[in-house]
Amino acid sequence: MKRLAVGPMTNPEYNEWWVRRINDNISEPSHENSQSIEEYLRVVLSELEIIKQDFERRNTELEKKIEQIEEEKINLRLDADVQKLEVERLRKGKIKAEEDLDSLKTDYKKLRLSMRTARLGKTSEWLS
């Protein structure tokens, strides 16, 4: 059985041509208006610093708003508790007033009855 040895399909001249072709197609950066990497990083870092400061400022504002809202929430809960206590006090007062009214009605009925009885007694005494 014969074997076929497969080697590189290119020769050294092709390799040189390929390297030149690749290098010819890559444009070199223009050095006219370019910054050094240090200058570029300084600009990027300063932009990041500005963004960071803006974020921290906004974060501080939001934290203050959260504190204010939580304080308002506590005050509203206290107000609600006071209102509940006031409602309960008024409810108890209403119940007491209704009981007193019922008691007065009962006393009034008894008084009217005793007045009728007393008048009937006088009338019958007077007639006899």
Q: What is the pLDDT of residues 87-128, one digit of tens each?
A: 999 999 999 999 999 999 999 999 999 998 888 766 555 555
pLDDT at 9 over 90: no
Q: What is the DSSP letter of 27?
A: P
Report field, pTM of the whole predicted structure over 0.95: no
Which residues make Cβ contacts (< 8 Å) with residue 111, sequence separation at least 6?
none
pLDDT for the residue numbered 2 = 54
Distance CA 97, CA 91 (A): 10
- State phi, psi for 8 to the nearest 5 degrees: -60, 140
* Residue located via tokens 């906004």: 58
Q: Are 35 and 43 in contact (CB under 8 A)?
A: yes
Q: State both tokens at 114.
A: 């005793």
